[in-house]
Structure 1
């Protein structure tokens, strides 16, 4: 009897991690620089564009390391992504792209640069089956450096994205 229980318990342990993996499509983050508003030909700072990729990559890395998420490769959907973006304006158009890529959730991000010293980082999560928002979070960033942008995404990951995991 005890052996059967132990075997069943071990079988559940072996199956649970794979079953608990949520497939996540993390899209390129969108960017708005309020300092460029009104410009006929806005020119985004290349450092801001690099940092935008930096925080998106950091979020993917944090998700992979967590073990509860499997980040889906979206490289084959580059044309669809380019046509649909910016995602903060399309009201959920990322969900079908993510669903077609095999993801359970679609994750988008947005950085609003108000000034060189004041930015806002947002992360939005949608269920790909329904297209409904499941999580929205925002962090103020005071400073336009790699460290500050990374601190913002790490804060959101730790304190907002996984808030329900802490409660369990």
Structure 2
């Protein structure tokens, strides 16, 4: 019985060593919302879209935590973050802030609304030590609903980030 347990532990060791998530830390800078639709120009921000941003932020955060990633408190970089409209497109400020926090990864995401029918969602994971993007994907989603946003985020997470 002891040999069987030892054999199982030895077989599991390489898999655990190859896990890029377990025991790592990340600076997750949330989801930026870019409304480039005519509706946004005319009517301004919508409460339902702000709620959807929070919804997919929670979805992504929970998925990373479930994989063993510690999401770091952004308070030490809050002042810098407050000056940035979109951490996904800030000439490496995401990596600089993540480095200051001592993170292994920087995670950025954005949703661009073209219209109520067409939206694009992106999520990227960069390795802080090298600056290299190690995972990430952009998907187009159809429909501006809770379900479509969650489906888009789930697709990115399941088919790319945690593949």
- TM-score normalised by length of structure 1: 0.78
Instruction: Give the equivalent residue in structure 1 for 2:56.
Output: 55
Structure 2 residue runs of 5 or longer lacking an equivalent are none
Describe the SS at the equivalent of 1:115.
coil
Instruction: Give the equivalent residue in structure 2 for 1:136.
Output: 136
Offset at residue 42 of structure 1 (A): 7.1
Offset at residue 58 of structure 1 (A): 0.8
Instruction: Give the equivalent residue in structure 1 for 2:31.
Output: 29
Counterparts of 2:101 and 2:89 in 1: how far apart (Å)? 21
Offset at residue 55 of structure 1 (A): 0.7
Counterparts of 1:43 and 1:78 in 2: how far apart (Å)? 25
CA deviations 1:49-95 (Å, max 9, x no partner) are 2211211111000111123x221121343222112331233122111
Instruction: Give the equivalent residue in structure 1 for 2:101.
Output: 101
Offset at residue 119 of structure 1 (A): 0.7
Q: Say whether the 8 Å CA contact 2:22–2:67 is kept in structure 1.
A: no
Offset at residue 156 of structure 1 (A): 0.7
- TM-score normalised by length of structure 2: 0.80
Instruction: Give the equivalent residue in structure 1 for 2:46.
Output: 45
Counterparts of 1:113 and 1:95 in 2: how far apart (Å)? 26
Structure 1 residue runs of 5 or longer lacking an equivalent are 164-168
CA deviations 1:27-60 (Å, max 9, x no partner) are 0211211214994x87222221221121111100
**Number of aligned residue pairs:** 155
Instruction: Give the equivalent residue in structure 1 for 2:79.
Output: 79
Offset at residue 143 of structure 1 (A): 1.1
Kindly tell me: are residues 133 and 37 of structure 1, through their superposed partners in 2, closer, same or farther at Cα, counting changes over 3 Å?
farther
Q: Say whether the 8 Å CA contact 2:88–2:94 is kept in structure 1.
A: no
Counterparts of 1:78 and 1:34 in 2: how far apart (Å)? 26
Is 1:116 aligned to 2:116, yes or no? yes
Q: Say whether the 8 Å CA contact 2:28–2:107 is kept in structure 1.
A: yes
Describe the SS at the equivalent of 2:129.
coil
Moved over 3 A (4+): 36-39
